[in-house]
Amino acid sequence: MNAPLAPQGKIEFIDLKAQYAALRDEIAVRMQKVLDHGQYIMGPEVKELEAALAAHTGAKHCVTVASGTEALLISLMALDLKPGDEVVTTPFTFAATAETIVLLGGVPVWVDIEADTCNIDASKIEAAITPRTRAILPVSLYGQCADMDEINAIAARHGLPVIEDAAQSYGATYKGRRSNNLSTLGCTSFFPSKPLGCYGDGGAIFTSDDALAQAAREIRVHGQSARYTHTRVGVGGRMDTLQCAVVLAKLGRLDWELQRRRELGARYHERLAPLNVKTLAVRPDRDSVWGQYTVRVADRARVQSVLTQAAVPTAVHYPRPLHRQPAYAHLGNPDSCPASIAAADEVMSLPMSADLSDADMDRVVAALAAAVGPRGQ
């Protein structure tokens, strides 16, 4: 029979087009305002966004910067990380987490993850602390915070600051508080595909420590405490006014989007429960905004190819832990962190964004069901 299939749109891995369609007018107005006043660098939208995000997270200060990577780099510089200083972190993350440490001459010290959340295993952190440790850098991977109170308590016992790499978790909550406002410093990214994105590169540092906020503000403009007074070594790390305007335009929809992401995550969990895939655990005292909706499957390459044939896009975050990457392999034992190694072989991310429809999720789930079969087989 040649009966045409019901017309079905392409499933986007992250549907930024639908988001733009919903925000088109607000974004046009916001961007036009910048073009009219012409203050492309450090224009009024920069301060406006910083005030709005500080209020939204509950942190006293927000310092916008050029990217999430820059947020991590400037935070470590504000803490005065020196060559040879150690930073305890996870190898199961995006390269930026460790790259910034190494750029400053520091040494990432790898602590393995929990298999069920893929976040750093807080119970293993204390054993990794040495007299050279200068900071702890957990990652709120896939949009769920690590055990921040436990990590803060360990840090307090050793007099260490904690930097949350919250690039994937803007808006997530932990014991009723927001990601980015859970530790000494929080670093987020506005890369377009993150839970709160701009239309290019951007990021922000959050802190309630006045001195660190001031240091970060100076470092992002070449270490200037006043014009042409370079009090410290800094970088060109500002976020453009236009990108701040894009994020401002998105704020009216943000809480709806975050709620929709939580709902979609719960719906995926429910729909996938009967299937032969492992969904990630979400601890009862926190939520996930599903910066990525990631599951674990055996035989990932085959499952991905079946999904590709069904026009369901997937991605792998991340296929190799950093302690096994060529650039970082000399920093530790490649056979350490077995849970990270196992996760890297199994993780697979499915389409996720606030504009994913229930019907499209059902198509994803049906394709996955065909690939993996029911649980227990």
Ligand X SMILES: *Cc1c(COP(=O)(O)O)cnc(C)c1O
The C-alpha R_g of the chain, in whole angstroms, comes to: 21
Is 139 a binding residue for ligand X by CB under 6 A? The answer is yes
DSSP calls for 259-304: HHHHHHHHHHHHHHTTBSSEEPP--TTB-B--SSEEEE-SSHHHHH
Rounded CA separation 37/242 (Å): 11
Q: Which amino acid is at 179?
A: S
Q: How far is the CB of 368 from ligand X (least distance, A)?
A: 24
Q: How far is the CB of 327 from ligand X (least distance, A)?
A: 16
Picking from 56, 307, 340, the residue whose alpha carbon sits closest to that of residue 206 is: 56
Is 68 a binding residue for ligand X by CB under 6 A? The answer is yes
Q: How far is the CB of 167 from ligand X (least distance, A)?
A: 3
Rounded CA separation 81/300 (Å): 39
Is 165 a binding residue for ligand X by CB under 6 A? The answer is yes
Q: Which amino acid is at 103?
A: L
Q: Which is nearer to ligand X, 91 or 368 (CB)?
A: 91
Out of 19, 57, 64, 69, point to the residue binding ligand X (CB under 6 A). 69
DSSP calls for 227-259: TTEE-S---B-PPPHHHHHHHHHHHHHHHHHHH
Is 168 a binding residue for ligand X by CB under 6 A? The answer is yes
**Which two tokens mark 300?**
């990932």
Q: Which is nearer to ligand X, 119 or 189 (CB)?
A: 189
Q: Which one of 66-74, 222-230, 243-251, 340-348 is the stretch in contact with ligand X (CB under 6 A)?
A: 66-74
Q: Which is nearer to ligand X, 77 or 139 (CB)?
A: 139
Is 242 a binding residue for ligand X by CB under 6 A? The answer is no
Q: In Å, what is the CA distance from 147 to each residue of 114, 287, 318, 370?
A: 11, 12, 21, 36
Q: Which 8-state DSSP code applies to residue 21?
A: H
**Which two tokens mark 338?**
């077995």
Q: Which is nearer to ligand X, 243 or 276 (CB)?
A: 243
| 363: phi then psi, degrees, rounded to nearest 5 | -65, -40
Is 167 a binding residue for ligand X by CB under 6 A? The answer is yes
Nearest position to ligand X, beta carbon: 68
Q: Which is nearer to ligand X, 142 or 268 (CB)?
A: 142
Rounded CA separation 202/207 (Å): 17
| 178: phi then psi, degrees, rounded to nearest 5 | -95, 140
Q: Which is nearer to ligand X, 203 or 367 (CB)?
A: 203
Out of 94, 174, 199, 268, point to the residue binding ligand X (CB under 6 A). 94
Out of 195, 203, 237, 265, point to the residue binding ligand X (CB under 6 A). 203
Out of 19, 97, 181, 340, point to the residue binding ligand X (CB under 6 A). 97
Q: Which is nearer to ligand X, 31 or 139 (CB)?
A: 139
Per-residue contact string for residues 21-60; x = within reach of ligand X by CB under 6 A? ----------------------------------------
Q: Which one of 19-27, 93-101, 114-122, 218-226 is the stretch in contact with ligand X (CB under 6 A)?
A: 93-101
Picking from 270, 196, 149, 175, the residue whose alpha carbon sits closest to that of residue 14 is: 196
Out of 75, 90, 93, 294, point to the residue binding ligand X (CB under 6 A). 93
Residues that bind ligand X (CB under 6 A): 67-69, 93-94, 96-97, 139, 165, 167-168, 189, 191, 201, 203
